[in-house]
């Protein structure tokens, strides 16, 4: 996990056990804006998103046949995030990851 006083990035296994982990994360419980990256390092696939309802969004992704094959979710959280900030961060991460050439989408 990477963190400082303003920002934290934490990795979780992307499966249904994730919801138990969310019970201890106030950003998920309190519908706080956050950014996430779904990934699978072996297949070099990644999906970047943002949400204010982590439970609903991850549940939706786990039901999606193209996303439920991914193995990890990295949550990027901060007390300073608002909806506008997470939209900007999501957009920039998509540009950076696409520009890197390592991930197909």
Would you state the CATH architecture of domain 2-97?
3-Layer(aba) Sandwich (3.40)
The pLDDT of residue 104 is above 70: no
Spans of all domains in the chain: 2-97
Q: What is the DSSP string of 28-55?
A: HHTT--EEEEEEETTTTEEEEEEES-HH
Kindly state the average pLDDT of the residues 1-26: 88
Please name the helix (run of DSSP H) or strand (run of DSSP E) that holds residue 2, with its range, or none. strand 2-3
Phi, psi torsion values for 74, nearest 5 degrees? -110, 115
The pLDDT of residue 60 is above 70: yes
Kindly state the average pLDDT of the residues 46-72: 96
If you average pLDDT over every residue of the chain, what do you get? 92
pLDDT band at 61 (very low <50, low <70, confident <90, very high): very high
Kindly state the average pLDDT of the residues 3-7: 71
The pLDDT of residue 7 is above 60: yes
Q: Check: CB of residue 17 under 8 Å from CB of residue 58.
A: no
Please name the helix (run of DSSP H) or strand (run of DSSP E) that holds residue 16, with its range, or none. none
């Amino acid at each position: 996990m990477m963190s400082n006083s303003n920002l934290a990035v934490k990795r979780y296994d992307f499966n249904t056990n994730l919801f138990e982990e969310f019970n201890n994360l106030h950003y998920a419980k309190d519908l706080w804006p956050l950014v996430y990256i779904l990934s699978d390092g072996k297949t070099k696939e990644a999906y970047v998103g943002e949400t204010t309802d982590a439970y609903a969004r991850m549940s939706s992704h786990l039901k999606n046949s193209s996303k439920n094959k991914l193995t990890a979710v990295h949550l990027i959280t901060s007390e300073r995030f608002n909806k506008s900030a997470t939209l900007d961060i999501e957009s920039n991460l998509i540009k950076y990851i696409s520009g890197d050439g390592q991930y197909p989408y």
